Amino acid sequence: MFLLRDQRDAMLLKTVFLPLTAAGFGAVAGLWDLTSASLDGTLVMLAMAGFLLAVAAPRQWGVWVLVIGVGVLLAHLVTPARPGMLFDLTVVSGLVAGAVALLPAAVGAVVALAVLWVLRPALSSATLAPAALAQQGAQAARRMAGRVATFNGSSLGGNPLAGRASLDAGD
């Protein structure tokens, strides 16, 4: 486990290591985007990068998303054009790719913030035992299941279907 010894190490981590990591994640995703025929891998990489960086420093999650987008832009700008490519590698195509990269990175960061919000009581306690985390997750799932059940029962007149046809596969 990485332990920070003093405030200077924490400042170095947030001002040098995390921005370089975010730009590196974006550059790798941008290069993957340029060489892969599929978009799925690129989207997953961008979402995971946003998630990991938002977990590392949740208060700066917006900055990390923007730096990931800049990394994608840089990857598009420095890569030479290859024969058979649909678009010239210009500033415009790099800007479009960087802007499109912001969405999956932001989704990953928001998911990380939601996970941290659910785990907040367990993380603030002194012990982070797996049993405590599992219990916190089970309590959150029970609360959400209770809310969904209440919503379904009240919005349909108290009965789950109330004589209405459903889109269930069993119908």
pLDDT tens per residue across span 94-105:
788 888 888 999
**What pTM, to 2 d.p., does this model score?**
0.62
CA dihedral 156, 161, 165, 168 (to 10 degrees): 110
Question: Minimum mean pLDDT among 28-32, 81-85, 114-118: which range?
Answer: 81-85
Reading the block at residue 136, the tokens are 């916190």
Place of tokens 């990991």: 52
Query: How many Cβ atoms are within 10 Å of 136's Cβ, its own excluded?
Result: 17
| Measured CA angle at 83 (ends 82, 86), to 5 deg | 85
Contacts from 106-109 at CB under 8 Å and sequence distance 24+? 106/50, 106/65, 107/47, 107/50, 108/46, 108/47, 108/48, 108/49, 108/50, 108/51, 108/52, 108/54, 109/50, 109/51, 109/53, 109/54, 109/61, 109/62, 109/64, 109/65
33's tokens: 């985007």
Q: Regarding predicted confidence, which is higher, 1 or 40?
A: 40
What does the pLDDT look like over 4-48, one tens digit per residue? 566 676 676 677 788 888 888 888 888 888 787 778 888 889 999
